Amino acid sequence: NSPKWDNQIQGQINLKAAIRRTLTLEQNGKLYKLNDKIATLQVRPRGWHLDEKHITVDGQRVSGGIFDFALFMFHNAKEQIARGAGPFFYLPKMESHLEARLWNDVFVTTQQALGLPQGTIKATVLIETILAAFEMDEILYELREHSAGLNAGRWDYIFSCIKKFKLDKDFCLADRAKVTMTAPFMRAYALLLLKTCHKRGAPAIGGMSALIPIKNDPEKNAVAMAGIISDKRRDADDGYDGGWVAHPGLVEPAMKEFVAVLGDKPNQWGKQRDDVQVSATDLLNFKPEAPITEAGLRMNINVGIHYLGAWLAGNGCVPIHNLMEDAATAEISRSQVWQWIRSPKGVLDDGRKVTADLVRALVPEELAKIKASGHAGLFDRAAEIFTQMSTQSSFTEFLTLPLYEEQSF
């Protein structure tokens, strides 16, 4: 989501209508409405790093996440309880158990204010930062009355690793397409998350596969489907209790992989994975370091500009090159370019060093490709922002923070 004011408020209106089964959309002569059987709703408030500039208390901006949460709870909590369907939340970007404790305090205070039994609210925590990976037991403990387990991420987790180790001369990752969930440090984190959850009797949810159906190219679509099946088969075999996909058309093939392993069981808590012994060294085993290619550099530039252009225009979830991308994609793209420029290991497989001048030379070429694709977005401004953030001497913690200030809405 791009947190424009009208996006945030319309999103709340849509949630309210969806819970009451009155949500409809008329578009291109078609009427869309909810099916009789719908998926369980989990609401994702903004992370702790994001404010809501349109609402202040004593002259200070309120937390964007608390604003999202409070508005939703006030209008929908009792309706959801009456329907036996929540309220359920999905909490992103946490870096420590103290941030989980703060959310728990918010939950307790809200339940008291609304006259709800303690423990009514349930929340899944997205473990998408390297620091949170070291505190998964503590995070579950802090949310114990309200916990609905942990969920593995990918792009934001890799972004977090780059951000925390950006000045380490020994740290350098390969093209981001090569840094999959089977990379040593990603595999260690995924298995530790699974073991931690099942040790505590909490659900372990596998990472989202960003692949989407490719309707006009059967061969590429077959490759995408094979990727989905491989991801979910690995998660199910490992012991995960479920997983995410980026498109409703992929629910069925993903479900088949879990049903093949779980059968009619609701979870795999019986798989305690005593065989998994993950150390701090394993979590920090940042491989692969190669290859770094011009194609990978160009892809980071292209996807980063494409996503930023869409975000500036108000769209925060964008299909790019047959993947459903969100802000994490732009974050890893620009941070990896920034780090390659500064790392002595940031060398292309043809021997050229990644430099700011090389990046500046490639940006216009990738910008031209994006414009020629016919997609909507503020791409010229996006190219300026991407170039600045990836080549400037200082590192911007979250690119959405200056972007949010720049937009007038």
| Catalytic residue (choose from 44, 61, 234, 342) | 44
Whether cis (ω within 30° of 0) applies to the bond prior to 291 is: yes
Known catalytic residue: 20?
A: no
| Catalytic residue (choose from 235, 326, 342, 360) | 326
Say what angle helices 294-312 and 327-342 make with each other, to 10 degrees: 140
339-344 contacts, C-beta under 8 A, 24 or more apart: 339/162, 339/166, 339/171, 339/172, 340/172, 340/292, 340/297, 341/390, 341/391, 342/166, 342/167, 343/169, 343/171, 343/172, 344/169
Q: HSE-up of 273 (CA within 13 Å, CB side)? A: 24
- Phi-psi region for residue 152, left (φ > 0), alpha (ψ -120 to 50) or beta? beta
- DSSP single-letter state for residue 401: H
**Residue 52 β-bridge partners:** 62
Taking CA atoms, 41 is separated from 3, 5, 123, 255, 407, in Å, by: 20, 22, 11, 18, 30
Known catalytic residue: 238?
A: no
Q: Which residues are catalytic?
A: 44, 326
